[in-house]
Structure 1
Amino acid sequence: MAVNPAPVAVSRPAAQNMPALKRVLETIRADSCPYSFNFHMHTAHSDGQLQPEDLIEQAIAIGLKGLAITDHHSVSGYRIAQQYLDDWKWRSSSRRGSSSNTCQSVPYLWTGVEINADLLGIEVHILGYAFDPAHPCLQLYLQHRAVQGNAYQAANVITAIQKAGGLAVLAHPARYRRSPIDLIQAAAHLGIDGIETYYAYNNPNPWKPSPSQTEQVQKLATHHQLLSTCGTDTHGLNLLQRL
């Protein structure tokens, strides 16, 4: 059963609370997304269509408990979304304090990013969560473009995310030109924290994880003792769909 990621006493901002996120990911199931949690979505600050403010409005309307915006090589959309969410919470609190009895759930927003990397000679995408976006190790990866050279190697991307206090996750492992068996094994060997187990590879409507790929990736996650994430990989105007 999914749990609410209640904040705990930590010195880092809530969006960088990696232990809280890890506890949530330990509960993720096939039905966690898209109505309870969504850890893969894009805004107009990379290759998505939603403005960050509109994304947060949808997340609130859907009733999401937790989410992360994973724009490509950028956290500018996240920053706007975080400010908007903070303002929304303040306005909501003021309304409740004055006259309204309505109490909408407030989603928990973690930092997020999607970074291109080389793994076994092919390009993959690595998701980062709950990291410090100001950490020096990540600055090269947050310039709105893919990197080259040694920094492009998956080992270095994973290390940078983890040094910044975050979790590194291999995105949609069954979408690449190499077997997820090979890729997940290689990523696990490099110390990755998790894999995107629940993903809709053929963009069904309504959204649901692809059964055959999910079964395979689930087994690999268990075998390699990796966390599982879920996400719609939204690029359009609806958080409940990929496109």
Structure 2
Amino acid sequence: MTITNANQASVYDLHSHTKASDGILTPAQVVQRAVDNLVDVLAITDHDTVKGLNEAHQYIQDKNLSIRLINGVEISTLWKNTEIHIVGLNIDIDDSQLDVFLHHQEQCRIERALQISQKLKKVGIENAYENARNYAQGDIVSRAHFARFLVDNGYAKDIKRAFKKYLGKSGYAYVAPKWSTIDEAINIIHQAKGQAVLAHPSRYDFTATKMQTLIHYFKEQGGDAMEVSQSRQTLEALKLLAHFANKFDLLASQGSDFHDLNNYLDLGKTQPLPTNVKPIWYNWST
């Protein structure tokens, strides 16, 4: 397999996060960083919210930037007791059913955050929810915000250790999520006239067999595409995901999953898609 830029004369980054969910930068700052990194097409895909998109569009308009911004969201789902993320691209952010759905997801996040805070209190960490909220610009309070609070206040050495000791499945304060199902996420994305993309499929610590089972299930539910080029992957992983995209007749997407400069790949820095996959943007209007 040849890895070249043949599939993409432009630079695409179709998975990124802002302070509207658990990113470090504001929507305007993410747009500017994408421009500085020569990204031509950017999707902002905050977790279970579209509240950062208006600011991003306004910034592009005010600065008269040529970058194309794709309306996106990353929806949290549960499949076989594992949290699976589904990205929606080219969604109508004014769709009323999408608004109701995301409000429900937001309420689930709030309930989970409060339960995490109660568990942290039992191990001597007071006011964790209030402190985590200080790290969140928007309404979304995630485990990433708790992790930053824990690191900054000396309860963990770094983000990875914060998850291992407190927030991950084996941690003191782990709370199982109550997310939507994969088919619900796909349906709401389609309702909002978008394309449903299986996010970072090789990041779920699955065997190749279980990953195929997930991808097959996603396709059966009406999924449109899967991320093939993603953050923190080897060339072999890229080739394997390209193989699965073709095997299950899915379009190929790519994205840095940018949150910050310390723990994630920078905007626009993923490997180009292999030439033997069909990119998700193949029929997008210019």
- TM-score normalised by length of structure 2: 0.61
Q: CA RMSD in A?
A: 2.6
Change (3 A) 1:120 1:225: same
Q: Which has the larger radius of gyration?
A: 2
1:150 Cα deviation after fit: 9.5
SS at match of 1:197: strand
Matched, 1:189 2:164: no
Unaligned runs of 5+ in 1: 4-26, 93-105, 202-208
Structure-2 residue corresponding to 1:160: 188
Matched, 1:75 2:50: yes
Structure-2 residue corresponding to 1:210: 234
Change (3 A) 1:147 1:170: farther
C-alpha contact (below 8 Å) 2:12/2:268 kept by paired residues: no
Unaligned runs of 5+ in 2: 110-176, 271-286
One-letter amino acid of the structure 2 residue matched with residue 232 of structure 1:
S
1:216 Cα deviation after fit: 1.3
- TM-score normalised by length of structure 1: 0.71
Which deviations, in whole Å up to 9, do the C-alpha atoms of 1:118-177 show, x marking residues without a partner?
224421000001011111221134337275999711101101101110000010001114
Write out aligned runs for 1:117-196 (5 A). Answer: 117-143=77-103, 145=106, 147=108, 152-178=180-206, 179-196=210-227
One-letter amino acid of the structure 1 residue matched with residue 195 of structure 2:
L
User: What percent of counterpart residues are identical?
Assistant: 30
Distance 1:219 1:56 in 2: 32
Structure-1 residue corresponding to 2:243: 219
SS at match of 2:186: helix
Structure-1 residue corresponding to 2:38: 63
Structure-2 residue corresponding to 1:11: none
C-alpha contact (below 8 Å) 2:38/2:268 kept by paired residues: no
1:75 Cα deviation after fit: 1.1
One-letter amino acid of the structure 1 residue matched with residue 75 of structure 2:
I
SS at match of 1:68: strand
Structure-1 residue corresponding to 2:19: 44
SS at match of 1:111: strand
C-alpha contact (below 8 Å) 2:212/2:244 kept by paired residues: yes
SS at match of 1:139: helix
Distance 2:251 2:49 in 1: 24
| Ranges of 4+ aligned residues in structure 1 off by more than 3 Å | 146-151
Change (3 A) 1:233 1:151: closer
1:53 Cα deviation after fit: 1.1
SS at match of 1:109: strand
